[in-house]
Amino acid sequence: MSNAPRPPIESGCPDGFQYMHPMMRKHYGNWDYHEDPQPGVLKHVAKNGDTIYTVRAGTQRILDVFTLRKLCDIGDEYADGHVHFTIRSNIEYMVDDESRVQPLIDKLTEEGFIVGGTRNSVAMISHTQGWLHCDIPGTDASGVVKSMMDELIDEFKNWNMPNRVHLTTSCCQINCGGQGDIAINVQHTKPPKINHDLVSNVCERPSVVARCPVAAIRPAMVDGKPSLEVDEKKCICCGACFPPCPPMQINDAEHSKLAIWIGGNHSNARSKPTFQKLVAAGIPNNPPRWPEATAIVKKILKVYKEDAKDWERINDWVERIGWPRFFELTELPFTKFHIDNWRGARNSLNASAHIRF
Amino acid sequence: MAKYETPMLDELENGPWPSFISGFKRLRDEHPDKRINEVAGSLLGQLEHSYETRKGYWKGGTVSVFGYGSGIIPRFSEVGDAFPESKEFHTLRVQPPAGNHYTTDMLRQLADSWEKFGSGLVTFHGQTGNIMFIGTDTENTQHFFDEINDYGWDLGGAGPCVRTGMSCVGASRCEQSCLDEQKIHRVLMNNFTDDVHRPALPYKFKFKVSGCGNDCQNAIERSDFAVLGTWRDDMKVDQEAFKGYLQTKGRQYIIDNVITRCPTQAISISDNDEFVVENRNCVRCMHCLNVLPKALSPGDDKGATICIGGKRTLKIGDLMGTVVVPFKKLETEDDYEELVELAEEIIDFWAENGLEHERCGEMIERIGLANFLEGIDVDVDPNMVNNPRQSSYVRMDEWDTEAEKWFERKAEAAS
């Protein structure tokens, strides 16, 4: 190998058409309608009547090359050698004949993959890296998701919900997992513990001061060394100072808890997109199975399933029944922490005589 | 090689959902390459340690490939002495093809390359949209990149730069698509290749494309520059198909689940069972099209709504993208050029006026939408607001001039 560095080819984003299923290429922009023949299966009909069937399957998301090749083998033998990945990391196989759908489902099931995740099911949880790879995680991601999907698998495989349910998990309050109908996120509960020996070597102090959303951090000399100090009364324990300055240790085996937020919905259908709202906190970060968090998620899903009308996403449902009823039905405590005090918070208060009894 | 006990991780092999831990163990126990066995074993050891102590042990650093400053997530273990074979465990972010389509041949080729240089672990895709090749050391980062770059793959963004774009499946398999999502995705991304590879912006900047208001790509909530498909003319109605739905689903179901769910009460059923749309009041929310896909479709005069400034919490709180272009036709090459120019204008203005670590949406919050619009030379439009100003604390010195501009624009549009 020569020692001269190889200049990169700045090719950017590749053209998807070269990898696309031929039927999708043929009818690009010319689809007429779709049907949902069964959970995990989509049927799309083109304007000339051509039909393509899609089978969607959930995987472990972090694929080892053995699993990736197994997915490829299935694609070669039972589909046409083309796959598509959804935004929630499910794999999709496309076939042009209905007779090929069931053998594909059977093979995926036999190999341990889970067919489902379409229409009004609980979709695969969108998540991030956690302890496996992130530099600031308060918990694991893949483990939480594996534990939760083990419990929710029937809801993934069936159409039991009023509308689709998107779950997300995030290992810190940056919330890389994104908005969800139900989001399970780390919530720090104590101010950072500062390793003053390291701050001046590791951190660019003005950037750290600037990063704090509530101006609780200021430069200080500690034991004769330049460091930082935190006004612990002002600190909201958000962890924003930790990424630029790891000596501001925010993660804590005991005090990094989980919180659950509901009603985030990116779709414009019916109502405008909505952000998720806090419903539960103080949930133990309890590996390897996180049973307490899963129990609350299941409780919320159960009530939603029983009480919501068809096509109501969780935010639509709560909007209709009101938050007092939500807390009543789920038997979750409503606390002073549920009342927002961030900028614009007054817009979230009920300034009316609208009360349900 | 030390084999670490993993009692907590072992519990994640139970249960019906596919287990990532079983995959790690296959790499540790069954892969023919000893290097991969050792890396996977060591990684399992460190992960078990995290589970036991409830803490993460990775720190960042500076790793890049020759010529780029972005695209690698460097990870060095803080407990590398105990788990030496995975002490360097960097991720390469690789841009997926627009629309996330692959052939199995290409996936195998990528797997072959990754096996030569990396851990054998890969995710399709990370939350920013990249293929995540998880786990390799500094030297092999370059080798792996060189190999896959030769057959058409390039790194995505990481750090304060233009990030990898995302687009929904769209026109390739969805009847509701109002855009050529893949073209928009590639035209935008590949115009900013330099800004992807060389981080020089205040913070991250994301493009996402969704073909309709269902926004399957989460563009409004998760991107600085969201392109959403819509249409200006009338929704298409197949009355026969509608009558079919009436028969199979029942009148009550259609009333309760379609008619009364319209956010602007723009739809109704006529006495002769026809689906009636008041198109001028329809907001293209997509609900009725979702429930009745055979009967209802978008119109023919399609285009894009562009929302700017969406982001999550840090630092000032969640922000949705705001409408900056209510409708943009995307048909001709000139239309696409104008789209790119708008993106350039916005990124340039933000690069100049954004504070360090300030997202575009936060800058708009700080300076006000009107100043932002002036900065990027876009005219105000009532579609940009939920409601006009409610605070009377404002100076309006130029009221007459501004009102005149509105009438001039109206006259121009009419002529």
Of A115, A150, A175, the position where a domain reaches its end is A115
Compute the mean pLDDT over every residue in chain B, rounded to the nearest whole number. 97
A297, A148 contact by CB (below 8 A): yes
For every residue of A241-271, which 3-state class applies, written as one string?
CCCCCCCEECCCCCCEEEEEEECCECCCCCC
Distance from CA of B278 to the nearest CA of A (A): 16
B135, B121 contact by CB (below 8 A): yes
Task: Identify the residue whose tokens are 């600085």.
Answer: B224
Q: Which of B406, B382, B230, B376 is nearest to B308 (CA)?
A: B376
Residue B353: pLDDT band with limits 50, 70, 90: very high
Of A205, A225, A248, the position where a domain reaches its end is A248
Residue A3: pLDDT band with limits 50, 70, 90: confident
pLDDT of residue A55: 98
- Name the B residues in 346-405 with CB < 8 Å from any A CB: 355-357
Interatomic CA distance for residues B157 and B71, integer angstroms? 5
User: Residue A96 domain-assigned?
Assistant: yes
**Hey, is the C-beta of B274 within 8 angstroms of any chain A C-beta?**
no
Domain count, chain A: 3
Residue A301 has phi, psi (to 5 degrees) of -65, -40
Contact A24 B106 (CB under 8 A): no
Q: DSSP of B8-60, one letter per residue?
A: HHHGGG-SSSPPHHHHHHHHHHH-S-HHHHHHHHHHHHHHHHHHHHT---EE-
**Hey, is the C-beta of B53 within 8 angstroms of any chain A C-beta?**
yes
pLDDT of residue A181: 98
Q: What is the pLDDT of residues B261-275, one digit of tens each?
A: 999 999 999 999 999
**Hey, is the C-beta of B297 within 8 angstroms of any chain A C-beta?**
yes
User: Residue A184 domain-assigned?
Assistant: yes
CB contact burial A283-312 (16+ within 10 A = b; e otherwise) = bebbbbbbeebbebbeebbebbeebbeebb
Residue A56: pLDDT band with limits 50, 70, 90: very high
pLDDT of residue B2: 63
Other CB atoms within 10 Å distance of the CB of residue A8: 17
Contact A8 B217 (CB under 8 A): no
**Hey, is the C-beta of B114 within 8 angstroms of any chain A C-beta?**
yes
Residue A314 belongs to domain with CATH number = 3.30.413.10
Residue A208 and residue A69 share a domain: no
Residue B168 has phi, psi (to 5 degrees) of -75, 175
Task: Identify the residue whose tokens are 């100043």.
Answer: B371
Tokens of A326: 């939500």
Burial class of residue B412 (count of CB atoms within 10 Å of its CB; 0-12, 13-18, 19+): exposed
Q: Long-range contacts made by residues B24-30, C-beta under 8 angstroms, separation at least 24?
A: B24/A64, B24/B121, B26/A64, B26/A66, B26/A67, B27/A64, B27/A65, B27/A66, B27/B119, B27/B120, B27/B121, B30/A66
**Hey, is the C-beta of B100 within 8 angstroms of any chain A C-beta?**
yes
Distance from CA of B374 to the nearest CA of A (A): 25
Interatomic CA distance for residues A343 and B316, integer angstroms? 8
Domain that holds residue A25: 16-115
pLDDT of residue B170: 98
Residue A230 and residue A163 share a domain: no
pLDDT of residue B194: 97
Q: Distance between alpha carbon B91 and the CA centroid of its chain, in Å?
A: 20
Contact B221 A87 (CB under 8 A): no
Distance from CA of B375 to the nearest CA of A (A): 25
User: Residue A206 domain-assigned?
Assistant: yes
pLDDT of residue B313: 84
Contact A29 B111 (CB under 8 A): no
pLDDT of residue B351: 98
- Mention every residue, 6+ apart, whose C-beta is less than 8 A from residue A212: A240, A241
**Hey, is the C-beta of B47 within 8 angstroms of any chain A C-beta?**
yes
Residue A99 belongs to domain with CATH number = 3.30.70.3340
Distance from CA of A286 to the nearest CA of B (A): 8
Residue A329 and residue A283 share a domain: yes
Residue A184 and residue A319 share a domain: yes
Q: Is the pTM of this model over 0.90?
A: yes
**CATH 3.30.70.20 placement within chain B:** 236-297
CATH number of B1-157: 3.30.70.2500
Q: Does domain B236-297 have CATH number 3.40.50.2000?
A: no
**Hey, is the C-beta of B159 within 8 angstroms of any chain A C-beta?**
no
Distance from CA of A256 to the nearest CA of B (A): 9
Distance from CA of A104 to the nearest CA of B (A): 15
Contacts of A134 in chain B (CB under 8 A): 56, 58
Residue A182 and residue A261 share a domain: yes
Residue A104 and residue A28 share a domain: yes
Tell me the three state secondary structure of residue B130. Answer: coil
Chosen for mutation from A109, A268, A283, A319 (greatest number of chain B CBs closer than 10 Å) is A268
Burial class of residue B236 (count of CB atoms within 10 Å of its CB; 0-12, 13-18, 19+): middle
Contact B95 A146 (CB under 8 A): no
Residue A260 and residue A273 share a domain: yes
**Hey, is the C-beta of B285 within 8 angstroms of any chain A C-beta?**
yes
Q: Which of A314, A205, A201, A204 is nearest to A262 (CA)?
A: A314
Q: Which of A301, A19, A28 is nearest to A156 (CA)?
A: A301
Distance from CA of A112 to the nearest CA of B (A): 6
Contacts of A6 in chain B (CB under 8 A): 66, 146
Q: Alpha helices, DSSP H only, in B279-354?
A: 287-291, 333-353
Cis preceding linkage at A246, omega within 30: no
pLDDT of residue A2: 59
Burial class of residue B415 (count of CB atoms within 10 Å of its CB; 0-12, 13-18, 19+): exposed
Q: What is the pLDDT of residues B36-68, one digit of tens each?
A: 999 999 999 999 999 999 999 999 999 999 999
Tell me the three state secondary structure of residue B307. Answer: strand
Q: What is the pLDDT of residues A192-237, one digit of tens each?
A: 999 999 999 999 999 999 999 999 999 999 999 999 999 999 999 9
Rounded percentage of chain B residues whose pLDDT exceeds 90: 98
- Mention every residue, 6+ apart, whose C-beta is less than 8 A from residue B317: A342, A343, A344
DSSP B76: E
Tell me the three state secondary structure of residue B125. Answer: coil
Residue A312 and residue A167 share a domain: yes
pLDDT higher than 90, residue B315: no
Residue A259 and residue A227 share a domain: no
**CA distance from start to end of chain A:** 77
Q: What is the pLDDT of residues A17-50, one digit of tens each?
A: 999 999 999 999 999 999 999 999 999 999 999 9
- Mention every residue, 6+ apart, whose C-beta is less than 8 A from residue B368: none
**Hey, is the C-beta of B138 within 8 angstroms of any chain A C-beta?**
no
User: Residue A60 domain-assigned?
Assistant: yes
B339, B330 contact by CB (below 8 A): yes
Determine if residue A337 is left, alpha or beta; phi over 0 gives left, psi from -120 to 50 gives alpha, anything else beta.
Answer: alpha
How many Å is the Cα radius of gyration of chain B?
26
Q: What is the pLDDT of residues A329-339, one digit of tens each?
A: 999 999 999 99
Of A90, A115, A140, the position where a domain reaches its end is A115
Q: Which of A170, A140, A172 is nearest to A240 (CA)?
A: A172
Q: Which of A122, A68, A62 is nearest to A89 (CA)?
A: A62
Nearest to B17 among A81, A84, A150 (CB): A150
- Mention every residue, 6+ apart, whose C-beta is less than 8 A from residue A15: B97, B98, B182, B186
pLDDT higher than 80, residue B109: yes
Q: Long-range contacts made by residues A303-309, C-beta under 8 angstroms, separation at least 24?
A: A303/A329, A303/A330, A304/A161, A304/A162, A304/A165, A305/A160, A305/A161, A305/A162, A308/A162, A308/A163, A309/A162, A309/B256, A309/B257
Residue A35 and residue A143 share a domain: no
CATH topology of domain B166-229+302-312+328-387: Sulfite Reductase Hemoprotein; domain 1 (3.30.413)
Strands A182-188, A256-262: pairing kind: antiparallel
Residue A263 and residue A243 share a domain: no
**CATH 3.30.70.2500 placement within chain B:** 1-157
B195, B161 contact by CB (below 8 A): yes
Identify the bridge partners of residue B267 per DSSP, sorted by sequence position. Answer: B277
User: Residue A122 domain-assigned?
Assistant: no
User: Residue A219 domain-assigned?
Assistant: yes
Q: What is the pLDDT of residues A70-110, one digit of tens each?
A: 999 999 999 999 999 999 999 999 999 999 999 999 999 99
Residue A5 vs residues B66, B132, B149, B198, B338: alpha-carbon distances, Å: 7, 24, 14, 18, 37
Residue A78 vs residues A42, A54, A108, A109: alpha-carbon distances, Å: 16, 12, 10, 13
DSSP B270: -
User: Residue A70 domain-assigned?
Assistant: yes
- Taking CA–CA distances from A79, the nearest residue in chain B reads B104
Kind and range of the H or E run holding B72: strand B72-73
Residue B3: pLDDT band with limits 50, 70, 90: confident
Residue A35 and residue A109 share a domain: yes
A317, A307 contact by CB (below 8 A): yes
